[in-house]
Amino acid sequence: MYGARTAEQQELAATVRKLLQDRGSEADLRRAMESSEGYDHELARVMAQQIGLHGLVIPEEYGGLGAGFVDLCAVLEEMGRALLCGPFFSSVVLFAGALLAARNDDACREWLPGIATGETVGTLAITEDREGWDEDSIQLAARHDGAGYRLAGRKRHVLDGAIADVLVVAGRLPEGVGLFVVDGGADIERTPEDVLDPTRRQATVQFRDTPAQLLAGPGDGWPVLRRVLDRAAVALAAEQVGGAERVLEMAVGYASTRQQFGRPIGSFQAIKHKCADMLVAVESARSAARFAADAVDADDPEQDMLAALAKSVCSTAYSACATENIQIHGGIGFTWEHPAQLFYKRAKSSEVQFGSPAHHRSVLARRVPALSGAGQIIS
C-alpha cells in the first residue's frame, strides 16, 4: 500500500535518528557548517561504512546494498530533522542517481563503489545564468573531441561543487542535451557561493574547454536528466517532511513551557491554531512525499506528476511551519543563537531547489488536461 512503511524501514529510520541524535547535536551542526568543507568527516564515515547509508540504493554489483527508493526517503526524513550537513544528497541522490538512470555500466563500475564507501564525493551540475529546470535552460557548450568531449561555460548553484571529486554535467551538443562525467581533477574553476542556508554548500563551477566523458547522448540526455530531477524532487520532499516535523516539535515544546500571564502560551487560542495548522501541513506533506516515493519504487507511470505534487506540497508546508515556529518563539526565534533560523533558511533554500512550488504547480496544470481526457478524476 502506498505510503505505509515496513517494519524494516521503521527500524532503519530509528537507527539513523539515534545516530544523528548522538552525533548531530546543535553544537555538532554548527561546528560542521562552519568548517572548511562544511561537514563532519567522521560522521560521514560512520554513515557510509558502518551503516551503509551511502550505498543504500546502489546495486550490489557496484558495491551497494540494492535497497529501494522508499528506504532512501526514510533516511532522508531523518536527515532533514537533523539538518545534516554534508554531501550525502549530492553524492547519493544526484550523482549516483544520474549514473543509474543513464544505465552506463562503465561509469557505474568506475564511480559508484567510491560513492558507496563515502570515499568519493559526487554531484550534478544543472543550472546556469539562465536559471531554470527545463530543457531550454541548459546552454553550456559541449563539443566532440576525438574519443571524448569538451565542455565550456559555467554552472551555478552546484551542491557541494567546491569539494566534489567527480561531477555529472548537463551540456548542449548541436544535436541536443547530453550528460557528461567530469573528473574533479580536470581543468575547472570552483567558486563557493554566498548562500542563505549555511548547512548546504553551493558553488559556481567554470568549465574551460574541460575534457569530459559522455554519460548519456543527445537522444537520452534530457529524458535521463528529467527522471533524475523527478526523483531528486521526491527525495528533497522527504527531507522537507523531516524538517517540518522537527520545527513542529520545537514549536509545541516551547508553547508548552513558555509562560505568560501565569499560564503556558500554548493554552492561548492563537497559538493553538498555529500549532494545529502546522500539524495539518506536516501530515499532508508526509502523505504526499511517501506516496510519491512509493510511486518511484513501483515505477508508476504517473510518478512525474506525483513528484511535482510532493515537491509543491512539501516546500509550502516546510516554509510555513518554519515561519510559524519563529513566530511562536517570539524574539528569541529571530536570533543567530537559536536553531529556528537554521531550519527557516533550509526551508527557504529547499523551496526553490529543483523548482519552486509555482513551477511544479505549472507542471501539474499541464498534466491535468491529459489525465482528464483519459477519464481520470483529479480531486
Query: What are the domain boundaries of the chain?
Result: 7-119, 123-222, 226-370
Phi, psi of 121 (to 5 degrees): -105, 125
- What is the rounded distance in angstroms from the CA atom of residue 151 to the CA atom of residue 290? 38
Architecture of domain 7-119: Orthogonal Bundle (1.10)
Sign of the torsion formed by the C-alpha atoms of 183, 47, 12 and 116: positive
CA atoms within 13 A on the CB side of 314: 36
pTM of the model: 0.94
CATH of the structural domain 226-370, one choice from 3.30.70.1070, 1.20.140.10, 3.40.605.10, 1.10.357.10: 1.20.140.10
Residue burial 350-362, b: 16+ Cβ < 10 Å; e: rest: bbbbbbbbebbbe
Q: Which CATH number fits domain 123-222: 3.30.420.40, 3.40.50.2300, 2.40.110.10, 2.40.160.10?
A: 2.40.110.10
Return d(Cα 342, Cα 334) in angstroms, integer. 10
> Which residue, among 376, 355, 357, 358, has the nearest Cα to 134 in the 3D structure?
355
CA distances from residue 85 to 3, 118, 241 in whole angstroms, order as listed: 27, 14, 17
Q: What is the pLDDT along the chain (379 residues), one digit of tens a residue?
A: 566 789 999 999 999 999 999 998 899 999 999 999 999 999 999 999 999 999 999 999 999 999 999 999 999 999 999 999 999 999 999 999 999 999 999 999 999 999 999 999 999 999 998 878 999 999 999 999 988 999 999 999 999 999 999 999 999 999 999 999 999 998 899 999 999 999 999 999 999 999 999 999 998 999 999 999 999 999 999 999 999 999 999 999 999 998 789 898 888 999 999 999 999 999 999 999 999 999 999 999 999 999 999 999 999 999 999 999 999 999 888 898 999 999 999 999 999 999 999 999 998 888 776 555 544 444 3
How far apart (Å, rounded) are the C-alpha atoms in residues 292 and 133?
A: 19
Backbone angles phi, psi at 276, to 5 degrees: -65, -45
Nearby residues of 353 by Cβ (< 8 Å), 6 or more positions away: 236
